[in-house]
Structures are given as structure tokens and as C-alpha cells.
Chains A and B, each alone.
Chain A
């Protein structure tokens, strides 16, 4: 059984505008995926595709007007969407841990680093202060911070960006989480530091037997640090499967365009960036396939919701034309 299983998850933003009209943004539509212990899943997509919202929906961090309107999230056999906020709070920070971008703003500026780690440990279990302190120093060492004792006494503003991100990861590890959700963990960090942080996360998953979800817009991060990938577009997972498989044989036109648009795959001026259009308006999504208005392969059938097609075991493509793209592409 999978550690995390998301089935049919749909999240909407429901608001009223200045003309008192009800407006519904379909931010997530029928999201399905599963994640096993020891695996790293990358969720990739453009701004507004619903990557972060997926994470927030899973761990109950949605704020009005966003709300889950359907679907199930099963974590270790427990159903999360119907769980009470208190029970979800207990789960979050212990079993499920989050690492967000902008590490600096996620640390309490008025507490020493060590105290913040101790605090989160004490909040989720009965531990002696000494035990919590010991654990904090162990975790600071585990995330590769030199001189853990010295750093534990530091204030957040004394940390560099990379150091702050390491502290945040140490904090996430304090209560032995089984699932780590990293939302753009290296955005804003320098490339040379990005590699350090990603290597660290990857090793921690192995060492502590966790599962990890990395939310990113960087195909390079997916290519080198994830086992599986889910490609999101306009609130839908259009394709998911093993990373190598998806990079070598992408089955969805959107994935193809996305991978094809990287400077590694195409020369500048070569053209052919068809899906370079603008993301659709979530308040006014087209019927059927959300990609169809900017898809070179679209036909009438695309106006009806596309089925999830299993290409090879684990490789799922949500497209009417999955499997016959090459034949059609040569004609077009």
C-alpha cells in the first residue's frame, strides 16, 4: 500500500466579485497520484498550474476562499480531508513535514535556532528538554551544518540563505516524518548552493526511510533528483510516471512541448514552441482537456474530458490522443 494516495482531489476558489456574481476558479481538477516510502516524486508545472495548492490541499493548509470540493487523500491508511483540524495539526509537523521556499521568512526571527528546533519537538510529543536538545543537535549535524552547537545558539538573521534552508530541513526532520513535502526548496538559492541542498534532501530520504514530494518548475531538478514525476497543467495532472520514461518518451503534447522547450533540446530561433501560449483562466476553463486551446494535436473529441491512459505500468497520460501522437504529428 502506498504511503500517500491522492484520488480525485478537486479544490476550488469560490468568491463573489464586485458585481456580486459568484465566481468559481477550478484550481485543482481530479488530481490522482500515489507515493511510496523511499521514493521522490517531482511535481512540475508552470505558475498557476496548482503545484503548491496540491501540497496545501494534502496537508490541510488551504485558506478561504480555497476549499476542497471532492476527492480523498489517504496517508498511511488515514483519510485526511475529513480529519479534524486538530488531528491534522498533530499529523503535520510530525508525520508530514513541510520545507518551503524563502527559508528566512519561515523562521521565527525572535528565537534562537536551537530553541525553535526544541519547540517543534516538544509540541509533538512528550520529551525531556535534554532529549529535545540532543535531538536538535543531531539533526543540525545531519543536515551538514558545521559546529551544530554554535549554530544552535545563532539567531535566524545571522544565517545565510543556504544555512537557513538547512535549518528548516533540520526542523522538518525533528519528529521523524514519514513524508517530506518540499515546495520549491531551492528557488532563490544560488546554483552552487542548490546542488548542495538537493543532494542533502535526496540522501535524507534514503537514510531516514521517508518519501518526498518536490514541487518545482525546474526540469533539471526533476531530471536529476526525482524517481517519478507528475506534470501539472491548469490544475490537472496531464502526465505522470517514472522520470527516465517521461523524459525519453513523453506521452502528452504538453509534456513534449515543455521538455522540447528547454535550451538543451532546441536551438534558439528554431521555432516550434507551440505550447508557448498563455495559461488558461481558471475561472473560465475550456470544457474537456484544459490544454486543447493551445495544443497542436487537438480535435473535436478533446472537448470531452480526456481519459487516463496507462502507457506502460506506472506511466499515465491524460489525453485522448495518447499513443498515436507520432502518427498524427507526421501528418500535421
Chain B
């Protein structure tokens, strides 16, 4: 799989918002990311880490400030929305809050088949067949097709959103906290469904979440974001077994596993995430970092290879790895 051409290839993606008074909020800060076919990349971070903005920028739902996005080999960073529209067939999104992500005035059947109507030239009866097949795929009874979203539960609505997103068999699915607003017992079913779809269709997925257990359960590779920048990137197991960056360590230890027998390791952080409006100089994490030294305030850390393959951390305090100046050299 390593040799396959990436579905999505992002380089140096930056998104800034003007927040008045001439100040800039840096939501995403020079992020590089590749996603290969069939691969699920988890993106984890706290609120304000820019993970949702990144997901939206990748699909050009918000315009990136700098950097480039290549989708299926084609540079889509600057093409017009009109040129982009046919490509949307290949890249779809599932949003966090299924209650507000569906037009409340349309029937479930119309919502599910809307992408088919927009992108594929199919007759009405064929679309109806597809709607039934999709409903079956996400394990919704066909009775739902005639109903509107209002009477459905969160889990059912999220299944509708997923059916809608996979209707045109996209190559890339961006999932922005798809299970965060759902109840625990419903989450498991949604995760199962997503895993099944990925295994059947080899759809590449960008799975954005703040929840470490969920991310771990579904991802092949995990990217940790802090204040818009990637601080660590590793295979899912490697990150949980041997986290290298002090922020990743703190994030992992703050996580509460649903098991009273697991002893909590304490790398507790002081304070809270600083404002993304005036990013701290040097390494953004130095204001809360337990191992920060003077140089951290001035040096912007570059990716350092840690241990196994494809494990990088951006921290000047990590020893023993050759500093990489750009990821493209290793790719």
C-alpha cells in the first residue's frame, strides 16, 4: 500500500482568519498530510487545534490562505468552485452534528440520493433503487426513506449522513467528529459501519476527532494537532505505545479509559490552550510544556524521525533522530 499514489496530498496548508483590528487568527499552520487509498488517517486535537478547519479547507469549503491541495494527482487549491463541483462526487464529508447537517424540509430518500442526482445521470426509478440499496447498506429500514429528518434519533440521522456521503462512491471521505454528538452505544454501531464501508470500498478516510479511544479504534495512522500545527504523526499503535512529543504524552494521559482498573499516568498540563490569535513564538507548545527550554521560545521545531517508520514529532527536545527538513525527502 505504501507505494500507491496518495488520494489526497496536502503541503504547507495554512488558514488564517481576519478577526478585526487587523489581527489574524491562525487556525491551521503549515500542515502536510498524505492519505493513500484505503487508508484511514485520524486527526486528533483539542478545541482550537484547527482540525475541523483543516477538514473543511481540504474540501475547499473554506478557502486556504497558503499551501497546496492535490486530489487524485490534480491540484485543486485554486480551481474555481464551478470546476470543483464535478470533483465533489469523489470527495464527500460527514459532519459532527447530524441534527443540523440535514435539510429538515427534504425526505430522507431525497437527502440520500441528492449526490446521485447531482453527479450521475440516472432516472427516477434507478435513483429509488439506489436509495433503497443505500438505506440497506447503512442498516436503515426502507420505511425511513419517506420520512423527514425531524422524527429520527441522532444515530439514525448520522446513518443518513453516511449514506448520503457514500452515495456516489467517493475516493475520499472527510469525517468531522462523526460520533462525538452520539450516545456511547450508538457510536459503536457507527464506527463498525464506517470500518465496513472502508474495507469494502477502499475509500480513504480523514477521521477528525478529539476522542482518543475512537481515533485509536478506527485509524491506521494518527496526526496530533496543537494550535493548528502537526506536533506528531505516527501509526496508531506506535502513537499509543510510544508517544514522543510532550503534548501527545499529556493528551494520552489526560484520557480517561472506561476501566477503573487502568491506573492513570499523570503528565498533567498546567493552564489551557493559548489563543490562536497571537501564536506563541518558536514552538507553540512551549507555554505549557513541562520540558521546555529557552531555545523552544525561538526555534520553530522541524519533524524529527522517532523510532519506527513514519513516526515523526516536531520537538527539539527529542534526541536520537535525524532532523528532517521536509517530508517530501522521505516520501
- Name A's B-contacting residues (CB within 8 A): 46-47, 160-163, 190-196, 199, 217-224, 243-244, 247-248, 257-259, 261-271, 273, 275-276, 278-279
Let me know if A190 and B47 touch, CB within 8 A.
yes
Let me know if B188 and A266 touch, CB within 8 A.
yes
A to B CB contacts below 8 Å, 28 in the list: A46-B183, A46-B185, A190-B210, A190-B273, A191-B254, A192-B273, A196-B268, A223-B259, A224-B264, A243-B260, A244-B261, A247-B258, A248-B261, A261-B185, A261-B188, A262-B213, A262-B258, A263-B191, A263-B214, A263-B217, A264-B259, A264-B262, A267-B217, A268-B192, A268-B217, A269-B195, A275-B185, A279-B153
Assuming A257-B185, A263-B217, is B272 touching A219 (CB within 8 A)?
A: no
Assuming A161-B272, A191-B251, A268-B218, is B259 touching A273 (CB within 8 A)?
A: no
**Which residues of chain A have C-beta atoms less than 8 A from B186's C-beta?**
46, 276
The docked-state distance in angstroms from the alpha carbon of A195 to that of B192 is 29
| Interface residue? B237 (CB, 8 A) | no
| Interface residue? B269 (CB, 8 A) | yes
**Which residues of chain B have C-beta atoms less than 8 A from A199's C-beta?**
268
**Which residues of chain A have C-beta atoms less than 8 A from B257's C-beta?**
220, 223, 264
| Interface residue? B256 (CB, 8 A) | yes
Assuming A217-B183, A271-B192, is B218 touching A247 (CB within 8 A)?
A: no
Which of A192, A196, A257, A261 has its CB near the most chain B CB atoms (within 10 A)? A192
Let me know if A217 and B184 touch, CB within 8 A.
yes
Which of B214, B217, B262 has its CB near the most chain A CB atoms (within 10 A)? B217
| Interface residue? B46 (CB, 8 A) | yes
Q: How far, in Å, is A52 (CB) from chain B's closest CB?
A: 14
Q: Which residue of B lies closest to A219 (CB)?
A: B258
Q: How far, in Å, is B281 (CB) from chain A's closest CB?
A: 21
**Chain B 184-198 against A: per-residue CB contact (8 Å), 1 yes, 0 no?**
111111011001100
Let me know if A190 and B46 touch, CB within 8 A.
yes
State the 3 A-B residue pairs at the shortest beta-carbon distance, nearest first. Answer: A220-B256, A219-B258, A46-B183
The docked-state distance in angstroms from the alpha carbon of A194 to that of B196 is 33
The docked-state distance in angstroms from the alpha carbon of A265 to that of B259 is 9
Assuming A190-B47, A192-B251, A264-B213, is B272 touching A259 (CB within 8 A)?
A: no
Which of A162, A223, A276 has its CB near the most chain B CB atoms (within 10 A)? A276
**Which residues of chain B have C-beta atoms less than 8 A from A161's C-beta?**
272
Q: How far, in Å, is A247 (CB) from chain B's closest CB?
A: 5
The docked-state distance in angstroms from the alpha carbon of A193 to that of B212 is 15
The docked-state distance in angstroms from the alpha carbon of A262 to that of B216 is 12
Q: Which residue of A lies closest to B270 (CB)?
A: A196
| Interface residue? B154 (CB, 8 A) | yes
Which of B156, B191, B216, B262 has its CB near the most chain A CB atoms (within 10 A)? B191
**Which residues of chain B have C-beta atoms less than 8 A from A278's C-beta?**
153, 155-156
**Which residues of chain B have C-beta atoms less than 8 A from A195's C-beta?**
254, 256, 268
The docked-state distance in angstroms from the alpha carbon of A269 to that of B199 is 10
| Interface residue? B255 (CB, 8 A) | yes
**Which residues of chain A have C-beta atoms less than 8 A from B259's C-beta?**
223, 247, 262, 264-265
Assuming A263-B217, A276-B189, is B254 touching A192 (CB within 8 A)?
A: yes
Question: Which label, helix, strand, loop or mixed, suits the secondary structure of the A interface?
Answer: helix
The docked-state distance in angstroms from the alpha carbon of A248 to that of B195 is 28
**Which residues of chain B have C-beta atoms less than 8 A from A258's C-beta?**
184-185
**Which residues of chain A have C-beta atoms less than 8 A from B133's C-beta?**
none
The docked-state distance in angstroms from the alpha carbon of A264 to that of B212 is 11
Q: In the complex, given contacts A194-B254, A196-B268, A278-B153, what are 11 additional A-B residue pairs having Cβ atoms less than 8 angstroms apart?
A: A191-B251, A192-B272, A218-B256, A221-B256, A224-B260, A261-B188, A262-B258, A264-B258, A265-B258, A265-B259, A269-B192
Let me know if B251 and A261 touch, CB within 8 A.
no
Let me know if A247 and B192 touch, CB within 8 A.
no
**Which residues of chain A have C-beta atoms less than 8 A from B256's C-beta?**
194-195, 218, 220-221, 223-224
Let me know if B260 and A269 touch, CB within 8 A.
no
**Chain B 221-261 against A: per-residue CB contact (8 Å), 1 yes, 0 no?**
00000000000000000000000000000110011111111
Let me know if B183 and A47 touch, CB within 8 A.
yes
The docked-state distance in angstroms from the alpha carbon of A201 to that of B185 is 27
Let me know if B258 and A273 touch, CB within 8 A.
no
**Which residues of chain A have C-beta atoms less than 8 A from B268's C-beta?**
192, 195-196, 199
Assuming A261-B184, A261-B185, is B261 touching A268 (CB within 8 A)?
A: no
Let me know if B216 and A263 touch, CB within 8 A.
yes
Let me know if B272 and A193 touch, CB within 8 A.
yes
**Which residues of chain B have C-beta atoms less than 8 A from A263's C-beta?**
188, 191, 213-214, 216-217
The docked-state distance in angstroms from the alpha carbon of A190 to that of B47 is 7
The docked-state distance in angstroms from the alpha carbon of A59 to that of B217 is 40
**Which residues of chain B have C-beta atoms less than 8 A from A221's C-beta?**
256
**Which residues of chain A have C-beta atoms less than 8 A from B212's C-beta?**
191
The docked-state distance in angstroms from the alpha carbon of A244 to that of B262 is 11
**Chain B 136-176 against A: per-residue CB contact (8 Å), 1 yes, 0 no?**
00000000000000000111100000000000000000000
Q: How far, in Å, is A68 (CB) from chain B's closest CB?
A: 26
Q: Which residue of B lies closest to A274 (CB)?
A: B185
**Which residues of chain A have C-beta atoms less than 8 A from B260's C-beta?**
223-224, 243-244, 247
Q: How far, in Å, is B240 (CB) from chain A's closest CB?
A: 11
Q: How far, in Å, is B108 (CB) from chain A's closest CB?
A: 15
The docked-state distance in angstroms from the alpha carbon of A252 to that of B136 is 31
